[in-house]
Amino acid sequence: MNEVSQISEFGKIFIFLIVGFISVGITLFLSKLLSPNKPNPEKLSSYECGEEPVGSAWMPFNTRFYVIALIFLLFDVEMIFIFPWATVYANKELIAADSRWGVFTLIEMFIFAGILILGLVYVWRKGDLEWIKPKPITPQVNTSIPMLLYNKLNEQQQAFKVKGFSLQNEVAVVSKTAVTPTTNVIAKKPMFKPSFKKPAADE
């Protein structure tokens, strides 16, 4: 007589997780209890592949590492989805149940991989995969303003020339200001006087 299992599949997974947590906790507790604790400057120093650590650990980090890591993570997740698909794609039982199964799953995977490839092409064309960035391109804007007005404005700006700095001129200006007597500065009156209206009495 076949006995019915009292534990469901989810119960087995739950027991497996509990045993895993308990085993990891016991291992960490025993290592803390039995391992010697004798810290010294050599042990507390950061490890750099056997090299002596130089400088501070707080240093600027190139953000392009994150871009490459995100692209790798994207295609790593793609592989996670493709492997189980490849195991059931040509399953004879599924194809015998419905002949459209093979064509449907093939088209679905082509769409999934095509979207990711389009993203890779976009990142590639944008230049994010190049470690040495190309020279920035100045954007060109189409406008209805004629170029003559821009040239005229530039000519007007060139008429105002900036005087070159000279230490002798600065000393002369300072000496003149020191000789001239101080004058009383008259405070200017405000151009307008704010007026506040009293709120109307409630009727």
Q: What is the pLDDT of residues 153-196, one digit of tens each?
A: 777 765 566 666 666 655 555 555 544 454 455 556 655 565 65
Q: Is residue 136 part of a domain?
A: no
Q: Is residue 79 part of a domain?
A: yes
The CA distance from 193 to 191, in Å, is 7
For the whole model, what pTM was predicted? Answer: 0.37
Q: Give, in order, the Cα–Cα distances in Å from 42 to each of 46, 48, 59.
A: 9, 12, 22
3-state secondary structure of 48: strand
Tokens 């920035």 appear where? 136
Q: Is residue 85 part of a domain?
A: yes
Q: Is residue 23 part of a domain?
A: no
120: domain range?
64-126
pLDDT value, residue 179:
47
Number of domains present in the structure of the chain = 1
Q: Is residue 70 part of a domain?
A: yes
Tokens 């906790």 appear where? 25
Q: Is residue 69 part of a domain?
A: yes
Tokens 């092409």 appear where? 121
The two three-digit tokens of residue 164, written as one number: 């070159």
Q: Is residue 100 part of a domain?
A: yes
Q: Is residue 81 part of a domain?
A: yes
Judged against a pLDDT cut of 80, whether residue 85 lies above it is answered with yes
CA 73-76-79 angle, 5° bins: 155
